[in-house]
Chains A and B, each alone.
Chain A
Amino acid sequence: MGTGTNIGRVRGLGSAHHGAMHWWRQRLTAGGNIVTMVWFVVSLFRLPTLDHASVMTWLQAPFNAVMMLLLIGSVFYHFRLGLQTVIEDYQHEGSRFVAIVLLNFYTIALAAIAVFSILKIAFGAA
């Protein structure tokens, strides 16, 4: 028998131990964002120009390409969790369901385009 909530005791199941996952991953990706985003902003502003040749050269360097992939993973996951919290605060029932589905489509589609672009640039097809 669990010692948690009344309903938990009735069911005899206790906590699923997944309650803190959303919260923890938001913090974990926040740490990842600080590292990758500071690197990105500083690198972007240090580029001599923003013409095609110089951004290509910059993104084709293996370190920069890997950092960009890590950035996309951390930042996109972080904003997916953050926007979920915003939606859950203001939307309820049916509209919440629709908004969460759209949020998942938005995040994954944008991440796919961004990752594909980085790989295409890094592997030199452009």
Chain B
Amino acid sequence: MARNPGRPLSPHLTIWKWGPHMLVSILHRATGVALATGGAMLFTWWLSAIASGPDAYASFSRYVIDADGAGGLPMVTTLLAKIAAVGLTWAFFQHMATGVRHLVLDVGAGYELRTNRMFAKLTMVASTVLTLILWIWAWRN
């Protein structure tokens, strides 16, 4: 049957295909959960390590920030922490971008198919670019 491609496809339980709006919707939830669990725990652990004094912070730092040449476990955990840190900054920027998208949608704007699709893609471009800028800048300093 002839279908006008300009018209939206009605959401259906079995007939649908992935679109950027679905992807950023689930990314908003996934990044939110990641930040609320991993991010919040790492943040609080870091704060309590600072408050516990230089010795406690040194052991936190050795496992999370800088292994300081030590091999074995600290080398592995600091590498994992670096991956987690890059992941969490990307998750933060993605969640912030899709959050702003939600605020725009809340006022009733951006529901036109083309605009909605573009804004959804833009959140992923923004989060990737901001994460790259932040870490390249950190690495160069």
Contacts and interface: CB of A to CB of B under 8 A. Distances in A.
B103 A52 contact: no
B106 A117 contact: no
Contacts of A120: 51
Contact of A79 (B36, B57, B134, B137): B36
A9 interface: no
B58 to A, nearest CB: 7
Interface residues of A, number: 30
A78 B106 CA distance: 17
Interface of A: 27, 30, 33-34, 37-38, 41, 45, 50-53, 55-56, 59, 75-76, 79, 82-83, 86, 110, 113-114, 116-118, 120-121, 126
Given A56-B50, A118-B51, A121-B50, 12 more contacts: A27-B106, A30-B99, A34-B96, A50-B66, A52-B54, A79-B32, A79-B40, A82-B32, A110-B44, A114-B43, A117-B44, A117-B48
